[in-house]
Every structure is written in structure tokens, then in C-alpha cells.
Amino acid sequence: MKLIREEIESVKFITEERGGKKALYIEGVFLQGNIKNRNGRMYPMETLRREVGRYNESNVTTGRALGELGHPDGPTVNLDRVSHKIVSLKENGSNFIGKAKILDTPMGQIAKSLIGEGVKLGVSSRGIGSLKPTKEGFNVVGDDFMLATAADIVADPSAPDAFVEGIMEGKEWVWEGNTLREQIASETKNKIESLVTQKRLEEHKLSLFNEFINSL
């Protein structure tokens, strides 16, 4: 499975006051289905609907739907980079409208400062899944798609992102023992298994283990 990200810039930042306290929110389209996006990918609505339902139940309703500031380099959420909490994600036509509260974390404070200074920000969804090419020249996201976060906050989402996309999407991700790791974990395991029947296992297993550790 590959790391897949989609950026959307049509979001707005709103301030709400409750109990005398002001809070800053992001609101807008977080996900889009049944349409070929500018990255040449299309998400079937049934795939998004299923995955958003799972994400809402396991993350949003439990207060664990977090997002980061910037472009993370993997499918997991890094707590030291969390800037906001997604509080709602609802289907509206072929779109999923989200709302996220900017938190008083270090990254959240940076996001607030950027917004206050008029910096143009957008959101980027992040997940993993397989891609199936079509005759029309675009890729359809497979039904194994899993949403890591509905929205990271990114700067200038309309700018070309070929460099970052090339690095991030070039990695393969696999599930092993309920743990998500890069494909290199699976490759290392296969190498070790291939050496089991050979006398070279002892001399190679340490170097293979170090190779795996250095890749994490």
C-alpha cells in the first residue's frame, strides 16, 4: 500500500466564542469522491463512505482525530507535531465536509500565528491504500484505503508538490503483526527466511537487523 495525500485549499478559518473563550476552527471540504483530482486519482464514494464511517467511529467520536502542521513522512500521527483536532466529518453530495479545532499545542500556536498574519493555508488528507490504473490515464484508489487523518494543515496547497509526493508515495507500506511499517520490513523478513536454509544465516542476520533498524 502507498501513502496517499490529497490537498484542498477551499477551506475557511472561523472563530467561535463559547463561555467567554474564543477558539479557532478550520472548516470546508476535506475529502472528495467520484471525481478525478489534480493528482490523477479518483476515490469511489463507497470506499470513502466506508472509511469515513470507520474514522468517525474510532477517531472523531473518541476525540482522537488529530492532524499535524506540515507534511508528515508517514501514515501515523506524530503527537509532537499535532496542531488541531477534527471534531466533525460529514458527507455532503460527493464531498465530505470537515471541521477542526486549532489546539493550544506548539504547532497549533504556529498555525494560529500564520493564520493571523494572513498566510494562505489549506488542508491535506493522508491515508494508505493501493492504486489501480485505468485506461483513461488516472488511478482509482482501492477499497483497502485507510484514512490516517482527514486533514493536516499545509501551506500553499495549490503549489506543485512533486518532490514531496515522489518521496512519500514512492514508499510501500505493509501490515505486520498489527503494525504498519515500510515495505523494507517485509523485504528484510523475506531475506532472513531465504537464508534459513543456508549456512550464511549467522553471518548475515546481524547486518540485516541493523539494516532494518536504520530504516525506521
Count of Cβ atoms closer than 10 Å to residue 213 Cβ: 9
Using CA atoms, how far residue 215 sits from 14, 39, 121, 144, in Å, is: 41, 28, 32, 25
71 is catalytic: yes
pLDDT beyond 70 at 127 = yes
pLDDT beyond 70 at 211 = no
Alpha-carbon distance of 99 to 69, in angstroms, equals 15
Domain regions of the chain by residue span? 2-159, 179-215
Question: What is the rounded average pLDDT for all residues in the chain?
Answer: 81
- The active-site residue, picked from 71, 88, 94, 130, is 71
Residue-wise pLDDT tens digits, 57-105: 999 999 999 999 998 888 899 999 999 999 999 999 999 999 999 999 9
Segment of 63-77, 79-93, 179-193, 196-210 carrying the highest mean pLDDT: 79-93
- The active-site residue, picked from 113, 124, 130, 215, is 124
pLDDT beyond 50 at 164 = no
Question: Residue-wise over 80-104: b if at least 16 C-beta within 10 A, else e?
Answer: ebbbbbbebbeeeeebbbbbbbbbe
Q: Please count the CA atoms within 13 angstroms of the CA of 1 that sit on its side-chain side.
A: 23
pLDDT (average), residues 46-61: 97
Alpha-carbon distance of 45 to 141, in angstroms, equals 10
